[in-house]
Amino acid sequence: MKLTTIFVTAVVAAPALYLAPSVEAHGGMIKPVSRAIRTMKLAIDSTFGHPIPMRASYTNGKGGDCIDFTPDTNLQAIPFGESKIKMRANDGANHIGMCTAYLINPKDKNSKIKVGEMKDCMRSLHPGPGNKGDQPIPAEKAINIPKDQKVCGAEHCVLQFTWDAAHLAPNIEHYNNCADVKLSGGGGNPAPAPSPTTKTPAPGTSMVPAPAPVPPPVPAPTPTTGAPSKGNGKYRYKGGPYDRASMDQWCNWNCPNFCPSDTCELVK
């Protein structure tokens, strides 16, 4: 769903498992393990990987952005320099789109640096598109954390993974996951410290393995069966406590190829 135009809100607070088990979410970062799993207890096969606005409906007032989720005090160690994070795409949804990693100050979410960027990272280990019903598709991307970074102390930082899924371009679905980490050792040659930024960087260069030219606008991939509807009113939402008008639009963007049958239905 398009983050700039659709904010799915709850009519009543819903638990993380409100959605039926067949409602698979697209996915996200699984190593290091995110706050969504560790402290929010979201389900890795569903609610953990829902778009940011949709997650706001079942996080008990913490919203959908992972940076506002309950911090994890059991910090996971990641090295300075080069290393890799791991992701998974649920239900065949390894969609195209830019992925970016940031290191964030846990006490000031506006203080952050970019430590990795990769186009179509969810297809890094599975180049082609998945199909609905597939087992989770693994993916990975490199990050590079400079030893002289000034954003956060080595004893506690937040690693944020963002994914702008462009399979329905120009409608973009936004996902993120945050993990509380501590920095130590070294996993490769350290990179110079980038300047802290509070702005979302424009996609352009690939961090693995060498800089790439600015890509042209990404077209939506050819679906395996039929073309997804673009809000033509043929589908409607039939699920639980979300804003119905927003979810009707979501259904018409994603159906028939990327929506579960127990969430959306064809209008007859």
Residues forming beta bridges with residue 78, ordered by sequence position: 183
pLDDT the model gives residue 243 = 56
pLDDT the model gives residue 29 = 97
pLDDT the model gives residue 258 = 66
pLDDT the model gives residue 216 = 45
Q: 72 near 182, Cβ under 8 Å?
A: no
Q: 151 near 108, Cβ under 8 Å?
A: no
3-state helix, strand, coil in the chain (%, to 5): 15, 30, 55
d(CA 14, CA 43): 14
Residues forming beta bridges with residue 137, ordered by sequence position: 89
Q: Which one-letter DSSP state was computed for residue 239?
A: S
* Residue 92 neighbours by CB under 8 Å, 6+ apart: 129, 130, 131, 132, 133, 134, 137
Looking up tokens 């609610």, which residue turns up? 47
pLDDT the model gives residue 11 = 29
Looking up tokens 């992925």, which residue turns up? 99
The residue among 55, 76, 51, 74 whose CA lies nearest residue 64 is 55
Residue 52 structure tokens: 């940011």
- Where helices occur in the chain by DSSP H, the ranges are 35-38, 52-55, 244-254
Q: For residue 43, what are the CA distances in angstroms to 13, 58, 191, 267?
A: 17, 12, 35, 30
pLDDT the model gives residue 32 = 98
Q: 125 near 142, Cβ under 8 Å?
A: no
Q: 68 near 60, Cβ under 8 Å?
A: no
Q: Does the domain at residues 27-216 carry the CATH identifier 2.70.50.50?
A: yes
Q: 260 near 237, Cβ under 8 Å?
A: no
Residue spans of the chain under pLDDT 50: 1-23, 188-231
Instruction: Give residue 233's region: left, alpha or beta (phi > 0; psi -120 to 50).
Output: left
pLDDT the model gives residue 149 = 96
Encode 81-117: b = buried (16+ Cβ within 10 Å), e = exposed. Answer: bbbebebbbbbbbbbbbbbbbbbbbbeebebbbbbbb
Q: Element (H or E) spanning 99, and its range? A: strand 97-105
> Could you read off the pLDDT of 30-59 as tens digits, one per residue?
999 999 999 999 999 988 989 998 888 889
pLDDT the model gives residue 232 = 55
- Where helices occur in 28-171 by DSSP H, the ranges are 35-38, 52-55
How long a stretch of residues is the chain? 268
pLDDT the model gives residue 264 = 80
Q: Any idea where the domains of the chain sit in the sequence?
A: 27-216
